[in-house]
Structure 1
């Protein structure tokens, strides 16, 4: 009685199929455990606060429409989770006026934020002779004459969540912090140097992840 020439191949295919099936079941169980743990823990997004802003320069020219601005802002981040840590892999900070970017982006170093922890950053934001639309230049002139300018401090980047030894994939994070800059007789700032004015803001920021 002759043996099937493919008998050995069939045997190994069955073994590899069984290994694949077992691996698939194990992977599914691990994923299910992670998802259940994630659902139970319910991670909350971090909260951000714009604590203060020091204005060193904020000057516009009419023809051409150029804006020069220099700020130092203090921003704090709080992780409200009891069991979930946060990795800030990248955070870029910049300022906008009327949705137009008026400074270059300043990158905050990668940061690990433990559970219920708080981190504070104080980046400098620079924008030298940044072109702005004539319409925005007119709006800025009007705001300055009214003694009240709103500059938006924005953070853009990527974060990851850590639960025990499990670390999630990266998520985009978007943070918007309004800075209310008062001028003239309405100014609430404190002079801190040559032509520098510091504003205590303690303004909550909107956060989207």
Structure 2
């Protein structure tokens, strides 16, 4: 029976084309869960996160503030304040002028008499004593003058002080004229140069003298007494001689007035 078995040809199986991989998961994401959780999510958690390289941000540099701008601003403010202060002072001065109408006092040298003007035996010293009559006039209608202590009055010849004295303390009222008789005395050392100059001027018939006065005063405006000032008076005289016990003639006289704090 074995000999009589038939052998039938077997058809080779046809090769099936490859099945493409599905692009969409067979199981929707998140639909399959187990006790250990979503395996796909666990796989993502196990992978280390990607590190991104961050570039630091630096803000643009601002230009530094110029110091000169602040200095200019400060200088401008200072100039404005000074200008405002000048305007205020000018306004106050104008108001004071129109209300009180201040006028400069007037001084004049009326006469001079020499009671002593001689040298010692060796011509090393000169002793001089003058009597000077001065007239002081206050032309102001609303301003009085207090003449304080500490005044200085001196007579000079060729830059050498011959004698000195002071003014009395008194008050000069409104539009008042006061005549003062002042005695001045002094001593000059080594007057040899002075004697030679004096002889030349006596021959000319005119001896130049300077009378200088520094007088501390206080002005009274109404009932208000202001701070202390200094009157500065300088008179230039021309006399005919400097002989003692003789009448001295004043040929010319010119007085200038000033003041200071």
Q: Aligning the two structures, in what range does the TM-score lie when normalised by the shorter sequence?
A: 0.5 to 0.7
Matched with 1:168 is 226
Q: Give the superposed CA RMSD.
A: 3.1
Select which of 171, 178, 183 maps to 1:119: 178
Aligned length: 169
- Decide which structure has greater strand share: 1
Q: Which is greater in Rg? A: 2
In structure 2, C-alpha distance between the alignment counterparts of 1:45 and 1:166, rounded to whole Å: 19
| Alpha carbons of structure 1 residues 162 and 45: separation in structure 2 relative to 1, 3 Å | same
Tell me, yes or no, if the aligned pair for 2:107 and 2:136 is still in contact at 8 Å. yes
Tell me, yes or no, if the aligned pair for 2:145 and 2:220 is still in contact at 8 Å. yes
Matched with 1:97 is 157
Matched with 1:206 is 256
Q: Which of structure 1's runs of 4+ aligned residues deviate more than 4 A? A: 33-37, 60-65
How far 1:199 sits from its partner (Å)? 3.0
In structure 1, C-alpha distance between the alignment counterparts of 2:198 and 2:190, rounded to whole Å: 10
How far 1:132 sits from its partner (Å)? 4.8
| Alpha carbons of structure 1 residues 77 and 204: separation in structure 2 relative to 1, 3 Å | farther
Structure 2's unaligned 5+ residue stretches are 1-88
Deviation track 1:56-77 (CA, whole Å, cap 9, x = no partner) reads 2334579655322221110010
Matched with 2:12 is none
Tell me, yes or no, if the aligned pair for 1:162 and 1:168 is still in contact at 8 Å. yes
In structure 2, C-alpha distance between the alignment counterparts of 1:61 and 1:151, rounded to whole Å: 22
In structure 2, C-alpha distance between the alignment counterparts of 1:57 and 1:87, rounded to whole Å: 32
TM-score (norm 2): 0.55
| Alpha carbons of structure 1 residues 201 and 149: separation in structure 2 relative to 1, 3 Å | closer
TM-score (norm 1): 0.68
| Alpha carbons of structure 1 residues 89 and 133: separation in structure 2 relative to 1, 3 Å | same
Deviation track 1:93-124 (CA, whole Å, cap 9, x = no partner) reads 22111232111x32222111111101111111
Residue 155 in 1 paired to residue 213 in 2? Answer: yes
In structure 2, C-alpha distance between the alignment counterparts of 1:122 and 1:43, rounded to whole Å: 27
| Alpha carbons of structure 1 residues 34 and 112: separation in structure 2 relative to 1, 3 Å | farther
Tell me, yes or no, if the aligned pair for 2:213 and 2:234 is still in contact at 8 Å. yes
Structure 1's unaligned 5+ residue stretches are 1-30
Matched with 2:202 is 144
Using CA pairs under 8 Å that are at least 6 residues apart, name the structure with larger relative contact order, 1 or 2.
1
> Equivalent residue of 1:197, what SS?
coil
